[in-house]
Amino acid sequence: MQRTVILASTSRYRRELLTRLQLPFDVHAPDVDETPLPSEAPQALAQRLALEKARAVAAKFPEAVVIGSDQVADLGGEPLGKPGNHERAVAQLRRMRGQTLVFQTAVAVVCQATGFVERDLAPVRVVFRDLSDDAIERYLRAEQPYDCAGSAKSEGLGIALLDAIDSDDPTALIGLPLIRTSRMLRAAGVELL
């Protein structure tokens, strides 16, 4: 019997990515406080939130295999979240210009009924160009990436902001590392292909 797969996320980006696996799945919003703990490193924050999201939804659907994910932009150990508006996005991109960031993308898969719990981290190293204020403004007006950690969408015009991307799981930068997710789903008993 194939268990129901649930994506514990409100992110349209994660939903779009998961459809690539051509697997039927439901989506449920996790009720999780995403506030970082005092002195919590970006890597630890992403892993904790991915697992908390998966567990929160798994508690409501114990027979399902639940996927939780979270991404935190890491600028020298400081977490950068979603800007939420234009002014904060401008400030983020000004701080990031000419810098190397690590986008810490975590994924967790949980099935309460079987006791399956696994999580992993897919760090993505991103080198930003030394952007002018005008380039930042033009980019933000064109793409409005206010719901993206680090104010940039590499799958769109945001790719022009970058000098390099280094990752072993190419979809991790968009928000859901599908190679790791696929591996965990198979380990949880979900058939792919």
Taking the C-alpha atoms of residue 84 and residue 107, their distance in angstroms, rounded to an integer, is 23
Q: What's the token pair of residue 100?
A: 């190397």
Taking the C-alpha atoms of residue 43 and residue 37, their distance in angstroms, rounded to an integer, is 12
Give me the residues paired with residue 105 across strands.
71, 122
**70 among known catalytic residues:** yes
Q: In 53-87, which positions are buried (b, 16+ CB within 10 angstroms) versus exposed (e)?
A: bbbbbbeebeebbbbbbbbbbbbeeebbbbbeeee
Identify whether the C-beta of residue 145 lies closer than 8 Å to the C-beta of residue 152: yes
DSSP letters spanning 48-100: HHHHHHHHHHHHH-TTSEEEEEEEEEEETTEEE----SHHHHHHHHHHHTT-E
Taking the C-alpha atoms of residue 21 and residue 41, their distance in angstroms, rounded to an integer, is 31
Q: Which of 26, 33, 70, 74 is catalytic?
A: 70
Identify whether the C-beta of residue 138 lies closer than 8 Å to the C-beta of residue 132: no
Q: Which residues are catalytic?
A: 70
